A and B are shown apart, each in its own frame.
Chain A
Amino acid sequence: MAQERIFGSGAQRREETELPEPGAPAPAAAQAQTGTSSADDLLAEIDGVLESNAEEFVKGFVQKGGQ
């Protein structure tokens, strides 16, 4: 799918730079690593507030017709 190509490549690049080379990581790599770990921090925070039983919760969200 198109979006996987466009956005997926960016995510993959970040993953590839996740392990810094020992010694002196390039500034860009360090920045990318910060990006991924800060994204993971956000996901960890969101994990903490997501409703517990996802499958049951979304199944229970049933609305009646609207405009």
Chain B
Amino acid sequence: MLPSQAMREHLLRDMVLLLAATLVLGTVSNLFPSRRLAWWGAGQQPPQVGVDFQWMDVLSAEEIRQSLPGAVFIDARGLGAYGESRIPGALHLSYTELGTALPADLEARLRGADLVLLYGDTADADIEQLMSQQLRRLGLAPPYILLGGLPAWRAAGLPVESASEVAP
């Protein structure tokens, strides 16, 4: 497909030059403190259980919800899913919101909470893990993540509420 040896060599040379330019630009740009990342993975490590968050099973979470009024449940799913059904009393917070501008009243509420529990709709809870890491960076205690998310909560027959059930 490549027409000639000369063209192949030309292509290879240009690709190496492009790679070199990438390395120079990336290295220089990473010297700016405002956007700096650690070179070798130490800057933003994956969230770790026991450090950034703890797991909590659905039955313990329900017990906490009923017995600890200072506990805050955070729904990390999309706003549409949150409107349809959620754990009673849960607040909504998205990862994007958390990364850019956490509403002041919500931040105050989280700081004053006895316990914060995050839940989503997947068993992996990737987003919730990232959110818990971000919350910890904001200086909050490591939150809990609901094991199995809302599907596990529903499967256990625990109550959910929808927007229409909440008084304005």
Verify that A and B bind, or say they do not. Answer: no
Q: Which residues of B contact A (CB under 8 A)?
A: none
Q: Which residues of A contact B (CB under 8 A)?
A: none
